[in-house]
Structure 1
Amino acid sequence: MTFKEISVEEVYQNDNKLKKQDVLALEEWMKKQPHLPKATELQLAIFLHSSNYSNEMAKNVIESYFTMKTLCSDFLGNRTLHDDVFKLATHTYVFSVLPKQALGGEKVVISKLMDTNLNSFTPLGMLKLMDVVLALFTHENGPPCGFQLVFDMQNSSLAHFLKVNPMLIKKFIYYLQDAMPIRLKHIHFIYPAFFLDKIFSLIKPMMKKELFELFIVHSDLKSLFEYVPQDILPEDYGGNCKSLLQLQAQEKQKIEDGEAFLKFQESQVVDESKRQGKSKYNESLFGIDGSFKTLEFD
């Protein structure tokens, strides 16, 4: 099937707080920013929705989004199945938006490492996959009132974590909290690994307080069900949704169908030679390199 974006008029119909005149005002503002690429009305509506309908906040998100896409092409570029790293991630990892909503109306995203082979684990591809799945969903269905992310750590080991580049994590955290045009409600961790607290202590200084406060660690699935009803989860968790393997295959097909859309998004980059003033983002901001291999774990 060919990927088809939702019409922006349908997005307005689904959300009476989202005003066309506010989106058009954003469009006029963008015309006066020569360094920014041209954006579609649907994109601007999604930006405004993610910013709680605040045009000033949306301007900051738009600026951050396109600037980070340009600076962070390592995980925001080559989002195609022709890229070996990204293709490998679609085979080893599942990141899928579930069909039914949570109790508060949010869409639930399930995430799990499916292939425990350390040689197949690619943190870069994993982060690309997360961005792609959420981008495809919001542009095909319109922005939901929020997302609840569920990370299943059952197959994640310390060896996997030690392969992660801290600079990559820092970049993605900045992108998630400043630039990604979505609303996050909760970030759940189930079957938590013994080293999860250590991860939190390392990433907390990089995060805004508001983002870190969304984290919820569950000692058992029953506490997760207080936020996400069991029946909407995959059958792997006793729910009525498709299995994780089926969802993984479904997302791979959606990515293949959305190839042209993803290519268009990647063409939307900032022209720094035309920027008026200085950007708050620069390469020195992400001056952490190496890996977590030198850290000590109790």
Structure 2
Amino acid sequence: MVRYVANIQILQLIITCTGDSTACIAYCSTNANNSLRMGIVGLQNNPIEASQPFRVPLTVTKCNSSALRSTHQPAPRAHKMDSLRLLSPELAEKARTELNEVPSRIPEDIAVLKAWLAKQPHLNPRCDDQFLVGFLRGCKYSLEKTKEKLDTYYTVKSAIPEFFDNRDPADAKIQEHAALGVNLPLPYTMGADGPRIVLVRMGSYDPSKNSIVDIMKVCYMITDLLLVNDDISMIAGHMVLVDLRGLGLSALAQFSPTLIKKMTSVIEGFPIRTKGIHFVNPSSGFDALYRMFHGFLSQKIQERIAVHDTFEALHKVIPKKYLPEEYGGSGGKLANIIEDCKNELVAYRDFFIEDARYRNDERKRPGRPKNASTLFGVDGSFRSLDFPQLIMPDIRPLSPALAQKAKDELNEVPERLDDDIAALRAWLAKCPHIKSRTDDQFLVGFLRGCKHSLERTKEKLDLYYSVRTALPELMRNRDPFDEKTAIIMRLGSAVPLPETETPDGPRILLTGVNDPDKFTIQEVFKFNSMMGEILMREDDNLGVAGQVGILDLANTTMAHFLQFNPTFVKKITMMSQEASPMRMKGFHYINTPTGFETVYNMFKGFLNEKNRSRLHVHGSNMESLYKYIPKRLLPEEYGGDAGPIQALVDDWAKKIESYRDYYKEEEQYGTDEKKRPGKPKNADTLFGIDGSFRKLEVD
């Protein structure tokens, strides 16, 4: 539900929801007039029956490294735990079967987390057991995912003070926004182990009087309480009901791409699972809202979205008895639910004051700091957009020189981008076999690579994912912390040069060779694909002006050439030519050895005429290379002014390591050829072989 908060604001919910979180405010009936108080609904066998009011005492514990060192014994089971709330039998069983919870193992897992937290110089977290077990449950007891989630949670809180600072529930402004009831966890759950229902009322605030930032602040306060207090939300997740009644263009105009990015980042920080998103009372602004958030939603969340035109249709999914009277149900009046939520926030005033202490110190983070600039690419401020700007896609602005080149050479019309991206998303949604990224920046890269021809872009996207699926040797299990990958990365198998010849010039990539006795050609190209994807996403010079390659064949031996056979050459040329949106503007071979002509001619045979005309062989004549690539752009080792190669390699190694989660996420994208209409595209049909790499026999 915590995610719900994200979503809470606008469908953020929908998008924010996007994540998986599971914290929803828990309420218990306290008396006959439906007055509700937040409590442990999980202890109720029948959530529809009234229970005695119960407020959970909140104990806040700050991690103390020295204390941890003195109490954390080699055997983590020796960890003396704070008391955890008891779960109902139904919730305990769900935690066991769905979240991999083993009660006897919890003390050990918490001890490991506390020991890890104590070693993070930049983190200043809460460390009470109930708080940490919430993150373990939200991450299904994967310790590594839990560590990442905890880091993200505090990183986001520190980077977005607009949402997470000055959260005094007694403040008149916060009380005013809480009274609007934009984000409301409902008091009844769908069964003893069912998800918490969270009602998000998109049209309940006046955007001319209320800032979306202030609204979101209150929403995230509610989410934080669900995180620490509601076992139903943390174990069973939440079902989000989004009421679009009253949603207008003025409200939508407050949602800039930067704001959406921040809201989705918050979602990623909360350990909450979303079990479904149901829209009711769709308004004229719904299509615009959905388009704004759709690209940020995971496939799983997209499949859990439903739109209901009537309450009758909604009641088939969420029975009446769980809903407020205003939604045709018998679950209490909205006014009472809103009032109880306001009172509960005030009751936890000390918690919010204490929470302000727990933030990151990015100056102490090992490696690159994570702040508003590095996370969101902006200074962190929120700027309202005029509505015409609102519908513009979330794409990095180009420099004037690149914007002109995109217009002149790629047929780019900025005013048409939104429609073209929407057309691609609509087409992808109708392709049963393709599971694709759909964010604006990703799709515009393909549009530019195809000079904004929609039909060519569709073909390119299909082939891009078809080839990746057919080449698991290169495109799966790409972990920058894998032992061999880490070595190849530090050896400088490939590195982009930092400067381009002109502001609108192509990116230059310098590639070398590795020891064939230690690394296979597949391992090297797997690493190269990892670097290439970062460039495709981040480098506008490459996306607009293309790329120029330099292959240094110094120290190449026959063992290198023996790894290249026609099958392998066909695979990598298809991957880099037909299936890639990146345009090759030139390729230069230097320090070519004896025997080079054989492999060179093999490569040329698979290239189209345009790319063959862009190949240049310089041998060991560097002056010949300088005629095409100015010396000043090259590293010191090549007579240039770009600094030592190893410095460039080390910088890129850090960047690739920072993309580890991205590469994991990439595993879910590709094609399911069983679902493709017509003839499937697999290794056999694409490459004419079974997909395995075989070395040539040489006499």
Same-fold call, TM cutoff 0.5: yes
Residue 239 of structure 1 corresponds to 640
CA contact (8 A) 1:93 1:248 kept: yes
Does 2:429 correspond to 1:31? Answer: yes
Residue 674 of structure 2 corresponds to 273
User: Deviation at 1:4?
Assistant: 5.6
Residue 505 of structure 2 corresponds to 105
RMSD: 2.4
CA contact (8 A) 1:166 1:290 kept: no
CA contact (8 A) 1:190 1:218 kept: yes
Residue 396 of structure 2 corresponds to 10
Residue 44 of structure 1 corresponds to 443
User: Deviation at 1:139?
Assistant: 1.1
Residue 65 of structure 1 corresponds to 464
CA contact (8 A) 2:511 2:552 kept: yes
Does 2:597 correspond to 1:197? Answer: yes
Q: Give 5+ residue unaligned stretches, structure 1.
A: none
CA contact (8 A) 1:69 1:269 kept: yes
Cα distance in 2 for partners of 1:27, 1:274 equals 18
Residue 151 of structure 1 corresponds to 551
Cα distance in 1 for partners of 2:580, 2:667 equals 14
| Number of equivalences | 293
CA contact (8 A) 2:566 2:602 kept: no
- Determine helix, strand or coil for the equivalent of 2:466: helix
Larger Rg: 2
Q: 1:61 to 1:128 in 2, by over 3 A?
A: same
Q: 1:8 to 1:137 in 2, by over 3 A?
A: farther
User: Which deviates more, 74-83 or 281-290?
Assistant: 281-290
Q: 1:118 to 1:33 in 2, by over 3 A?
A: closer
**CA offsets, 1:131-162, max 9 Å, x none?**
11121122123324110011111122222221
- Determine helix, strand or coil for the equivalent of 1:252: helix
Residue 520 of structure 2 corresponds to 122
- Determine helix, strand or coil for the equivalent of 2:499: strand
Cα distance in 1 for partners of 2:491, 2:688 equals 27
**CA offsets, 1:69-109, max 9 Å, x none?**
11101011122124344334224443111111135711101
TM-score, length-normalised on structure 1?
A: 0.88
Cα distance in 1 for partners of 2:463, 2:555 equals 33
Cα distance in 2 for partners of 1:67, 1:5 equals 31
User: Which deviates more, 174-183 or 212-221?
Assistant: 212-221
- What amino acid maps onto 1:81 in structure 2? P
Cα distance in 2 for partners of 1:37, 1:150 equals 34
- What amino acid maps onto 2:613 in structure 1? E
Q: 1:4 to 1:263 in 2, by over 3 A?
A: farther
Cα distance in 1 for partners of 2:376, 2:512 equals 27
Does 2:537 correspond to 1:139? Answer: yes
CA contact (8 A) 1:111 1:150 kept: yes
TM-score, length-normalised on structure 2?
A: 0.40
User: Deviation at 1:227?
Assistant: 1.6
Residue 212 of structure 1 corresponds to 612
Cα distance in 2 for partners of 1:244, 1:198 equals 29
Q: 1:281 to 1:273 in 2, by over 3 A?
A: closer
Does 2:620 correspond to 1:222? Answer: no
Cα distance in 2 for partners of 1:5, 1:129 equals 26
Residue 174 of structure 1 corresponds to 574
Q: Which structure's relative contact order is higher, taking Cα pairs within 8 Å and 6+ residues apart?
A: 1
Residue 14 of structure 2 corresponds to none
Fraction of identical pairs, as percent:
24
Cα distance in 1 for partners of 2:589, 2:601 equals 15
Residue 22 of structure 1 corresponds to 420
User: Deviation at 1:129?
Assistant: 1.9
Cα distance in 2 for partners of 1:10, 1:140 equals 9
- What amino acid maps onto 1:123 in structure 2? I
- What amino acid maps onto 1:156 in structure 2? T
- Determine helix, strand or coil for the equivalent of 1:154: coil
User: Deviation at 1:166?
Assistant: 4.2
Equivalent of 1:95 in 494, 509, 531: 494
Q: 1:37 to 1:99 in 2, by over 3 A?
A: same
Cα distance in 2 for partners of 1:12, 1:30 equals 26
Q: 1:218 to 1:94 in 2, by over 3 A?
A: same
- Determine helix, strand or coil for the equivalent of 2:512: strand
User: Deviation at 1:277?
Assistant: 1.4
CA contact (8 A) 1:166 1:291 kept: no
Q: 1:5 to 1:74 in 2, by over 3 A?
A: farther
Cα distance in 2 for partners of 1:185, 1:8 equals 27
Does 2:694 correspond to 1:290? Answer: yes
CA contact (8 A) 2:492 2:646 kept: no
Cα distance in 1 for partners of 2:591, 2:633 equals 19
CA contact (8 A) 1:36 1:271 kept: yes
